[in-house]
Chains A and B, each alone.
Chain A
């Protein structure tokens, strides 16, 4: 939902005059560098990437977060292999499922699901099992990403970690002078009216379940735990929050305009806010948080398997990884890409201690809530019911 809005927001911003701007995840952030790159991705995506489409032997149909396809097109990989990319942009992992199951299979090649959705997608048969012999660059991945939860089902690899990040507690040190340590610091009276949450369900429910109940398995919780989580969220919303940001782009604006001083956020927000003149810091609170990892995957019955494998493998080169991270302020999953990062992109993520970071957040990306209740454990639907209670309150 929030992403749909973010997409509209993006259009709105573009109309405000900063044309040619690309936002990753539709979240509304901008870097100066993206300005030129933006033209490339926004309008010229087809003409440049697919510039040879008339002659290209293969056209790979890509559906994913805007900006991710650029990594697949770095260097001379397209020219050398006579491939073009035809990108469509997604707003939501659910949209991938809807598109693929609604007649998309057979017409889609590469998509970018996250780790929590990969098992579900593989389970309903919309993902092709990957022939790992055709992805030799898989060994370039940091060990943590080679073994990360959620990219395989029953021992078969279905997706390749491509981009990562987390949901930290972000704050403006000019206002929040004491470094926060817990999500519950949002309740401190001195921040009343300067707090924000985003409308990103999963990225809110996971950290606040951990904060409200102390659980280490925030997507495996009981009804009382869910209720406690929602009660905490309602308390924040009612008595502390300035607003619920519709997306991360808006959150960056709220920080920059001084409306908000502390919020549940995503790393690139700090970069976008910096570009607007607000210097922000962020921490992983002691309770842990949500980490996200977006992957590359091949859709069942992909029309262009050979070309797709070339691009999947290319996506795990240092060159491709660094490019995506530099323009989108996201994390790279390949160690050899780190030296190619701009100083700023490198400074965002703890590349020297990824295992330590994951253990601090609670063990890396969590699986989704179960589709059906499992004993005491609430289902995805129960969680969404709780979220609606939060929205309605």
Chain B
């Protein structure tokens, strides 16, 4: 707030942007292959004004490739890219209204902080006064005041990251692209920088597209997440949607922790792990039952009390890990499969030890049955 740095587009509410008739970035059938190897399958993607979009997926799934095509560093093999309505498919990065924060930052090692940030403006031959003003502005936004004359090689990882962001933002891009911006930082710094990026996004209200393999980071930062797997978009939605309703086994496994139990559905009845059977409408075939660790409960005793709409499996405690706020129990159920359950009940923890027979139970609505393709 109060910042005069602004991105090249007006602010817009998140949901409004998604549904906007003319999205800021529009990818139509964009794909990239290297010979026989396809890095990104042809896909469509629309990004609205003011969105903070995360492209999430495991390493090698094509995130960077996709981002580099948006930035103009790679020419797509198929499809067209429009930004702000203009076809930029054939334009190089120097001619696109995007700027990028690179994986590893890509700072100019022979320049100072201020020279790094000023570089793009100098290329535009802006008057010296304007350059100085905008650089100072960007440095303030990146909390880098007083670092102007430092060589970038003398900065910490977090400071370098902020220089990279400042260097991109000073250009007032329509879209800011960030490739794994926090991957090189340690956990604590990562959390702090997430905060920082959120603050910057809030204060200038621009459109950010960032790539990460860290679901927590995606959840923490983005207003919308696109999950990629092997070059394809497998799910697109708000963080809440994706966490609660993963469309595939891959997404559910990737977003947060999850127990996966294989089973089958026949005539509306699902069978899991031999003993468990409950009705669930849907087509016949193999399914996966997905259960979040925090969704299940552990009970002791011969005949524990479980809810009427709950499901239960018997097992034995195999491992107990105290994680601070919660404790994680590894419980071997019949057949030997391990289920993970987290619980914050300290009284329960006192009662349990390795080898104790227990019952794992959960309300039916808190699991998800995912049909296997």
A and B touch in the complex (CB under 8 A): no
A positions within 8 Å CB-CB of B: none
B positions within 8 Å CB-CB of A: none
